[in-house]
Amino acid sequence: MTAPHDNNTISAAAVKAAALAVGFDACGIARAAVLDDFSDSLSRWIATGRHAEMHFMEQYDTLRCNPAAMVDGAESVICLLAAYNPSQLMDTDGKVARYAYGEDYHERLKRMQYQMIAMLKEQYPSFEGRPCVDSAPIAEKHWAVRAGLGWIGRNTLLVNPDYGSWVNLGEIVTSSVADQYDSPMADGCGECCRCVKACPNHALIADGQIDHHDAYMLDARRCASYHTIENPDDILPDDIRLSGYIFGCDICQLACPFNQQAATRLEISNERLQQLQSLATCDAPTFKKIARHSALRRIKFTQLQRNRGQKQ
């Protein structure tokens, strides 16, 4: 869909070129609008208690569903994708989710977004945008779908045909109008349910309120990733299997055919790999050093110790 040209119009081609130039792997642009479908599913997810103790998800529902509540006069949501399938994998017990292998994606993507905004302002001096990388309550997966970057798989994650669900997402909400907007792509999962069957804790639950076989919800109360990161309790539930993970969990992603053929995008040095593999036995000062500028800093050393003791 093409928008009329005026002083507030930006070129979609220029936006995407800037995104690739600063290091993003894909970029799509959606017209800002209220996400009524997401609002309904979010309400059901919270009403059924499947958000566990993540009470922050109960807040800012208007912001999550309406970009105009975040940026006055919002017209466009620029959606950005950075893939993270690593070049080397841990081969020891005490595993870490792949998204935490490298630099904290919040820092990396936000830095790239500011570089991108600076490039766009050189071409469009009046351009203003609010960058979001989990720093604002925005429904990033749903916007990525609207911007044509993939579809939401049964693992409840965005799946991109080239990079699978090994992706981090960011958005720039702007009052500028794009001269062209992207359209959603077709769902590529078909009848595949490998992710659902692979979860050892049965955390992927069919959304019975939607008459569509592809609609699933994550029950965080059953999710190993939730328990190893978000759960602050001294002891984890006995019936939750961590399957060797001490931070996060990738089991549902490992089962996905798109992830098994995903391109490698994140270089992991031998030194970093050794650091990650030492997490199974390291002390508190070493953990603090390894976790610096990494998603690993989301947990305390006491949580790491707890996870190491209950990782089976």
The pLDDT tens digits along the chain (312 residues) read: 444 445 789 999 999 999 999 999 999 999 999 887 777 788 888 888 988 888 878 776 777 788 888 899 999 999 999 999 999 999 988 999 999 999 999 999 999 999 999 999 999 999 999 999 987 789 999 999 999 999 999 999 999 999 999 999 999 999 999 999 999 999 999 999 999 999 999 999 987 644 444 578 999 999 999 999 999 999 999 999 999 999 999 999 999 999 999 999 999 999 999 999 999 999 999 999 999 999 999 999 999 999 999 866
SS3 232: coil
Side-chain-side CA neighbours of 249 within 13 Å: the count stands at: 28
134 catalytic? Reply is yes
**pTM of the predicted model as reported, rounded to 2 decimal places:** 0.92
3-state secondary structure of 114: helix
Supply the pLDDT for residue 4: 42
What pLDDT score does 59 carry? 76
Element at 80 (helix H, strand E): strand 76-83
> What is d(CA 227, CA 248) in angstroms, rounded to the nearest whole number?
8
Indicate which residue of 61, 134, 162, 207 is catalytic: 134
pLDDT the model gives residue 297: 97
pLDDT of residue 73: 94
pLDDT at position 213:
45
60: Cβ contacts below 8 Å, ≥ 6 apart? 137
227 and 237 Cβ atoms separated by less than 8 Å: yes
